[in-house]
Each structure stands twice: as structure tokens, then as C-alpha cells.
Amino acid sequence: MIKSCKEILLLQHLAFRELSITSLLVTFILVILAYLVGSISSAILLCKLLSLPDPRTAGSNNPGATNVLRISNKFVAAAVLIFDILKGTLPVWGGYFLGLEPMYLGVIALAACLGHMYPIFFNFKGGKAVATAFGVLLPIGLDLGGLLILTWLLVAKLTRYSSLAAIVTVSMAPLYTWLLKPIYVYPVLMLSTLIIFRHKGNIVRLLQGEEPKITFSKK
């Protein structure tokens, strides 16, 4: 009986070890894919395709949806926004359906955002990854997504600062996650820290009153 129990425990240990190795391998593959997909800058590609100014050298010099709105129109900006959200959502959703643990999903999420921030295809000069960060948070739940959208819209409408809206929104994300699905709090906290760090230049300009505002025109 004792021998049988020991054998069962050994088998369970080996099974758990094999599962852990498999999870690490799957996570590693998804991290690479998430970074590469994140490195595809729709803002740069669409602007080049449509003969628009390069968002890296025009407007706020940031290849993201908000700056594309400044230098083009809402339709191009919407296309950039949707693509940037999807390139965050798809890798994390893939990991979720493969049964990966929250911390592993968090690493995949960070990889997607780092790809957007430091794209290998564009000399490692990318955007702030706000839309991509929103995308990686969507698999947690549509209720979280709704809260994040409402927070961004409220702050942006009141202040006209897109960067401030992003900073406040990602700062609130860990709290919203704790209220809705606490198991994901630590990965979301890591992500929020990364996004806020990426906005350090915006924070300085906000404090100095030099940050450009956005408009909600019908352009």
C-alpha cells in the first residue's frame, strides 16, 4: 500500500513536471510570436501606403492611433486602433485557450507591448502601446474592457489630454482587475507599470504644460 502511494505521488510529480515544461515551451513560443506581431506598426505602414506623413516625424512623433488622428483622419486612425488592439488580444487569447497560468499570460502580454514599443522591424522605435495594452487586457473580460474605455473617454473629454487619459486608465486597471478577477492582478500591475514608464516624457510635458491636446472634431 505504501509502495503504491509512493508510485502515485511519483507519477503525479512527473506529470506535473512534464506539464510545467510544456507550459514553459508554449509560453516561450507565444512570447516570440507576440513580440513579432507587436512589432508590426500599422500606423507606419498605413501612413506610408496612403502617402501620409510619417507618424514618427509628424505630430507628436508617436506611431499610434492618436497621432495618426492628428495627421490624417478618423478612419485611418480607427484602422490603426483596431489593428493595435488585435495584436495584443490574439496572442494572449491564444495562451488563455491553451490553459496557461496568469503569470505566463502576463509575460506574453508584456512581449506584445514591448514589440509595439520597440519594434524589431522599425529600428526599435515604436509607440506607447496603449491600444495594445488594452488589447491584452480584453481576454480578462468585456466588463474590464468597458470600464477601461469609460475611464479613458471621461478623462480625455474632461482634460483633452490623450496621454493623461491613458496614464489614469492604466493606473486604474489593477484596481478594476482586483474587483473583477483578482487572479490577474499581478500581471496587470506589471503591464500598468510598463505603460506608465513609457509615458515618462508625457508626464514631464504635462507638468510643464507643454503636452499637446486632442480634439473631438468630425475630421
Task: Write the pLDDT tens digit of every residue in 1-33.
Answer: 444 665 554 445 444 455 577 878 899 999 999
On average, the pLDDT of the chain sits at 88
State yes or no: pLDDT of 151 exceeds 80: yes
What are the cell numbers at 82?
483596431
Q: Give SS3 for 55.
A: coil
User: Tell me, what amino acid is at 44?
Assistant: I
Averaged over 182-208, what is the pLDDT?
Answer: 93
What are the cell numbers at 53?
506623413
User: Tell me, what amino acid is at 207?
Assistant: L
Closest C-alpha to 211, from 75, 81, 68, 61:
61
Instruction: Provide the pLDDT for residue 170.
Output: 95
